[in-house]
Structure 1
Amino acid sequence: MNNFLPTAYFRKQFVPFEDANISIATHALHYGTGAFGGLRGLPDPADPNQILLFRLDRHAARLSSSAKLLNYDLPADKIQMTIEEFVRKNQPQQPFYIRPFVYTSDLGIAPRLHNIEKDFMVYGIPLGDYLSPDGVTCRISSWARQEDRSLPLRGKISGAYITSSLAKTEAVESGFDEAILLNSQGKVSEASGMNIFLVRDGKLISPGFDQDILEGITRDSVLTIARDLGIPIVERPVDKSEMFIADELFLSGTAAKVTPIKQVEIYHLPKERPITDKIRETLTAVTENREPKYQDWVFKVRLDG
């Protein structure tokens, strides 16, 4: 219990984390009929009474859209206000991760989204580096990324993460840190919970939305930063062999931030990563509110207000 922030938002009120419990008969537990978000926060290095949240508005909007896919009307402003109050209640003193979650909260056995109760909860956990900032090793998973025609991939639907879980465990138990999933067409899609980028000949390349990727908020941030730095951007299908000969390769995500890939299967990537390093340095500065150009990405929550 000590690993979690002490207060959670549960059943429309703030309660001690250990009291935020669901029944074993909860519908979402059995059918994966939930959707989640994830965002990082950290104490403002310049003001100990202020917390910085990265792109809170975008995270709230995406979770609201995910809720719609579950036939649940949950306005983005409701999510955002709840998260602000959650931060004030917890008074975090170190970098942390917030997990908002919408789900079918009824007790029942019929798989459905109509005529069923839904709810919204928030909890958090202190979090430093999710993956090694020095780089990770990856294998190409034997599991394929789902298609949008079978799962609504524009939302972070909890049931979809069985594939991510299978891929991650397969990778780790075979000696790698992370998995890279191909889509049904055999093209590179994403990692177990992160988007992927290549650098070749000075260009930043990433699979586009037509490759069954999640619409990552960190991914969008990376593309914007790269564009502003004058780095050419290409969004297109990517073959797996391109990863083996890339100049640089990295993952992006809320938990992963920007994490270099140092090896894919038996192929080692170059140790020099000038574009990755520049993007990572800039993104870190943005999250710490040290880049005036991107101040609208950083939402400030006063702990004494």
Structure 2
Amino acid sequence: MYNFLPVAYFKNQFAQFVDAQVSIATHALHYGTGAFGGLRGIPNPQDATQILLFRLDRHCQRLSQSAKLLHYDLPATKIESVIIDFVKKNQPNKSFYIRPFIYTSDLGISPRLHNVEKDFAIYGIELGDYLSPEGVSCRISSWQRQADASFPLRGKISGAYITSSLAKTEAVESGFDEAILMNSQGKVSEASGMNIFIVRNGKIFTPGFDQDILEGITRDSILIIANDLGIEVVERPIDKSELLIADEVFLSGTAAKISPVNRIENYKLSQQRPITEKLREKLTAITENREPKYKDWVFPISIA
């Protein structure tokens, strides 16, 4: 299904991906006591000797913060250094996705975060479009997004993704591409692994952090880009009914980038998506290092 990059980072050293394996007794495998990140890289369209990573610093910072929630001190500078070496060793020649993660690597049966060994690993895959660029269909999930009072939602904690997995499978098996989860207050939260935006009357609306969403890096990028383009963005609670009457709806994430929504349940949305397309074109130009204003968002790595 996936073409994995040949070299991984495992047990504090680089190794062949096929040799980077864990025991079936690994603590994190049983209790979801891990945290992961995800960032995209592409060969530089203007310079074949470079690989471009999008917002490397922010991704490393977020994973470091997620690690703290698991009582693991992993500096962002350490993550960044290893990712740079990882890219140099693999020298990918296609669009790819990097998955850095930390996990409790001890072998044991006691659910805990104290006095348990933790580890940091990285692997990568070749990755084009995660969702169809033509748009996706969504259903409102019967599963509810967790609340921060019962789960540390400010991190990408692996255990949280059981809800995403249930929602995604429910959506696909009932004829849709994606799921939209509501929060415990009955307001729109996010998709299975993406943030969500709606457009009404030329303005963008998106759930804020108080709606139990992940602090998405692509989401943050869209807020900044939209502001720079003079498009007003309002972070506030969104009702289910607003999704059905919105002028445009789109999802955002590292893997998904910006993905338009064509249909929610049995409600078809307009195929005219001027704001979505404007944002998507701008984000693509930025990731390809064609926008000098956002040069700090793109980290070039020489592989010559």
Scaled to the shorter chain, the TM-score interval is over 0.9
Q: How does 1:256-295 map onto structure 2 within 5 Å? A: 256-295=256-295
Deviation at 1:187?
0.1
1:180 and 2:180 are equivalent in the alignment = yes
Output the amino acid matched with 1:102: I
Deviations 1:41-74 (A, max 9, x none): 0000111110000000000000000000000000
The residue that corresponds to 1:191 in the other structure is 191
Work out the CA distance in 2 between the residues paired with 1:54 and 1:8.
20
1:228 and 2:201 are equivalent in the alignment = no
Output the amino acid matched with 2:117: E
Work out the CA distance in 2 between the residues paired with 1:115 and 1:199.
48
Work out the CA distance in 1 between the residues paired with 2:61 and 2:191.
23
The residue that corresponds to 2:138 in the other structure is 138
1:105 and 2:139 are equivalent in the alignment = no
Question: In structure 2, the residue corresponding to 1:15 is in which secondary structure?
Answer: strand
The residue that corresponds to 1:204 in the other structure is 204
The residue that corresponds to 1:114 in the other structure is 114
Percent of residue pairs identical: 75
Deviation at 1:2?
7.1
Work out the CA distance in 2 between the residues paired with 1:45 and 1:263.
34
Output the amino acid matched with 2:30: H
Q: How does 1:229-244 map onto structure 2 within 5 Å? A: 229-244=229-244
Q: CA RMSD in A?
A: 0.7
Deviations 1:141-200 (A, max 9, x none): 000000001110000000000000000000000000000000000000000000000000
Deviations 1:68-102 (A, max 9, x none): 00000000000000000000000100000000010
Q: Is the 8 A contact 2:2 2:125 kept in 1?
A: no
Q: Is the 8 A contact 2:7 2:16 kept in 1?
A: yes
Question: In structure 1, the residue corresponding to 2:237 is in which secondary structure?
Answer: coil
Work out the CA distance in 1 between the residues paired with 2:205 and 2:297.
23
Output the amino acid matched with 1:34: G
Question: In structure 2, the residue corresponding to 1:142 is in which secondary structure?
Answer: strand
The number of residues matched between the two structures is: 304
Q: How does 1:1-305 map onto structure 2 within 5 Å? A: 3-304=3-304
TM-score by length of 2: 0.99
Work out the CA distance in 2 between the residues paired with 1:69 and 1:226.
31
Pair 1:2–1:158, CA change in 2 (3 A): closer
Deviations 1:97-118 (A, max 9, x none): 0000100000000000001100
Deviation at 1:126?
0.1
Work out the CA distance in 2 between the residues paired with 1:232 and 1:9.
42
Q: Is the 8 A contact 2:2 2:126 kept in 1?
A: no
Deviation at 1:3?
1.3
Pair 1:265–1:2, CA change in 2 (3 A): closer
Work out the CA distance in 2 between the residues paired with 1:196 and 1:166.
18
Q: Is the 8 A contact 2:43 2:51 kept in 1?
A: yes
Q: Is the 8 A contact 2:211 2:237 kept in 1?
A: yes
Work out the CA distance in 2 between the residues paired with 1:27 and 1:99.
19
Question: In structure 2, the residue corresponding to 1:14 is in which secondary structure?
Answer: strand
Deviations 1:204-226 (A, max 9, x none): 00000000000000000001000
Work out the CA distance in 2 between the residues paired with 1:179 and 1:78.
35
Which 5+ residue runs of structure 1 have no aligned equivalent? none
Question: In structure 2, the residue corresponding to 1:231 is in which secondary structure?
Answer: coil
Question: In structure 2, the residue corresponding to 1:98 is in which secondary structure?
Answer: strand
Work out the CA distance in 2 between the residues paired with 1:5 and 1:249.
34
Work out the CA distance in 2 between the residues paired with 1:15 and 1:263.
44
Question: In structure 2, the residue corresponding to 1:120 is in which secondary structure?
Answer: strand
Output the amino acid matched with 1:93: N
